[in-house]
Every structure is written in C-alpha cells, then in structure tokens.
A = this chain, B = another copy of it.
Amino acid sequence: MLNFTSDYIEGAHPRLLQRLIDTNMVTQVGYGYDDYCQSAKEKIKDACQCPEAEVHFLVGGTQTNTTVIDSMLGIYEGVVACDTGHVNVHEAGAIESTRHKVIPLPNHDGKICPKELEAYLYDFFNFQDAAHMVNPGMVYISFPTEQGTLYSKEELTQISAVCRQYHLPLYVDGARLGYGLMSSECDITLPELAKLVDAFYIGGTKVGALCGEAVVFTKNNAPKGFFTIMKQHGALLAKGRVLGLQFDELFTDNLYFEISKHAIRMAELVKQIVTEKGYEMAWHSPTNQQFIKFKDTDLERIKEHVKYEYWEKCGPEYSVVRFATSWATTEENVLKLREIL
C-alpha cells in the first residue's frame, strides 16, 4: 500500500537520528541552553543572513503559532489572517484560547491580497468604531499556504510595506517553509524573506525532524519575557537538545534545503503522472502538496492501493484529495502511481 497522506507519516531523516544516537550520553543542560541549540541558532542566523535575529526552538506548529502570536499582541488586539489560515481553522481555537481574535480576510488561492489588507486597515482606522472593536495587532500568513500555494516576492513585499505603514508586525507560518523555498516557482530566498518579515518559523516536523519548529525573530525583536512565555505555554522542552540537535543537523550542509528540493521533485513527478493519466489538478500548487480532482468511483478503486488525504467534496460525482510528498518519499513509490491510477 502506497501512502501519500501527509508529510509527517515517517520518523526523521536518518542523519538526524544518527546525531541523536551519537550524542545520546553526552550530558547537557536543559531548556534550550545546550550546546546543540546554540550551534543550531548560529547556523540558522547565518542561513537567514540575520546576525541580529533571536532564534527559539518549540515543539509543534499550533504551539508555535499560539506562543508567538500571544507574545506579540496587546490584550485588545487580534491577528489578521486569511479565512483559510491554519490559525483560523485547524488549531482548535488555540489563538482564541489566549484571548485573541483571529480577524479573517478572504482568501485567494489560500492567500490574502495585499490590496485587500490595505483596504481593510484603511477602513478600520478611518471609518470603523475602532475603540469598540478588536484592533488588528499583527498579520499572519503561511508560506506555503494550507492549499500549497505561494506568495510571490512582489506580493510579500507589498504585504510587508502595508504592515510597516500601519506598524503591524508580519509573521510567517513556515510549517512547510522548505517546500516553499525550494519550489521551482518560488522567487524569494530565505534571507529576502527574513528581511521582509518580523518573525517566522522554520518548520521541522514536516521537513525531516521528529518534531520541532525554529522561531526566528528577525530584528532583535523577540517579545519581552519570551522564554518565560514559552514555559507558560508548555512549549519549553526540558531536553531542548532534542530540538537543537535536529536543527543543527538540518542546517548542516544544506540538508534542510536538499531534502525539501527532493520532495518538490517528487511532487512534480506526482503531478506529471496524474495529468498524464488524464486526471485534473483541483488547483495549481507548486509545492509538496498536490490537490487532485477524482471521480468518486475512481477513488473507490484507487484507495485499495494508495492512502491519501480526503480534502473535500466537489460536485455530486467528484472529490478533491491531497497527495503529499516529503523528504521521505521515494521515486520508486511515486512511479508506482503510473500503474495504480
């Protein structure tokens, strides 16, 4: 049985596991003060070309979004996000559980539109009864988005400019950052991205690690007390070494980017096979998640051989499903799709 359900169905890249084994009995202090965390932080700052950045390691994505957003907002402020944004839909109200509203803007292929963001902010501060409303306090975007789409450099530059005009920090959820940056359609580099935003996280869980996300406050702008806030949010790992080690290895010899590139190549191969076979992509995704429209009757047959993620119904006879690739996807398995589909 093939399995393209998601990008977190295997363990970790073997090089990360090897590091865990090699260092297992070396004693280290806890809570992220270990040598591996320090080394990983330096490598990440180098990769981002942000010498003044502050880097912290957290365990998972929802936890990271919640901790960062809660730490950056005033109590009467909310976070502006796409209506399809992960924080608005699939985090079980984690943001609200810290007392902050997610202020939704309409999505266009999973993205907010810079002009609509500007229009919303202009209207809010000029025409709305702002004192009786949740104030926009920061902007959240995902790169890539939950639909696998990407913001262009131009779009990111515009969103960043709007944010600066209104003095709102811009934060990027990079749960699948590597798969975004390594897309053939991506026209922005990691340092360029880091320059445009105030904070972002580099996803580890979905890009080769057992768990772990690296938050980067790009401009020496980590919120006051962030370490304590991590502890308060249950996001501070006692054995911080586990996170540090993995990111240290991911940012050694470009591993993070190499394995991301592999996943993209596999995703393109999936797309090629799917379209060869006459199926239709539900929408265009240039990253590791491919969304395909199948007849429900075809799915009945296909699911005997392949596991995938059911996405949504699409008219009476069709459904959209997701095929995700990752660092762990083998070309051999993708090629088997030729026979199965």
Chain A interface (Cβ within 8 Å of chain B)? 3, 5-6, 8-12, 14, 17, 20-21, 23-30, 59-64, 66-67, 70-71, 74-78, 89-94, 96-102, 104, 127, 129-135, 205-206, 210-211, 224-225, 227-229, 231-239, 241-242, 307, 312-313, 328
Contact indicator A78/B93 (Cβ below 8 Å): yes
- Contact of A239 (CB < 8 Å), options: B92, B104, B210: B210
Check A232 against B97 for contact (C-beta < 8 Å): yes
28 pairs across A/B with beta carbons < 8 Å? A9-B30, A10-B26, A11-B20, A12-B20, A17-B21, A60-B238, A62-B236, A66-B234, A67-B234, A71-B75, A75-B225, A75-B229, A76-B228, A76-B229, A76-B232, A92-B228, A93-B232, A96-B134, A97-B98, A99-B99, A104-B104, A127-B313, A131-B228, A205-B238, A206-B238, A210-B210, A211-B239, A234-B235
**A62: nearest residue on chain B (CB-CB)?**
B234
Find chain B residues with CB under 8 A from A231 CB. Answer: 62, 91-92, 94, 131-132
Chain B, residue nearest A65 (CB): B234
Closest-by-CB residue of B relative to A226 is B76
Lowest 8 CB-CB distances: which A-B pairs, in order? A63-B234, A11-B24, A93-B134, A92-B231, A92-B232, A9-B27, A3-B27, A76-B228
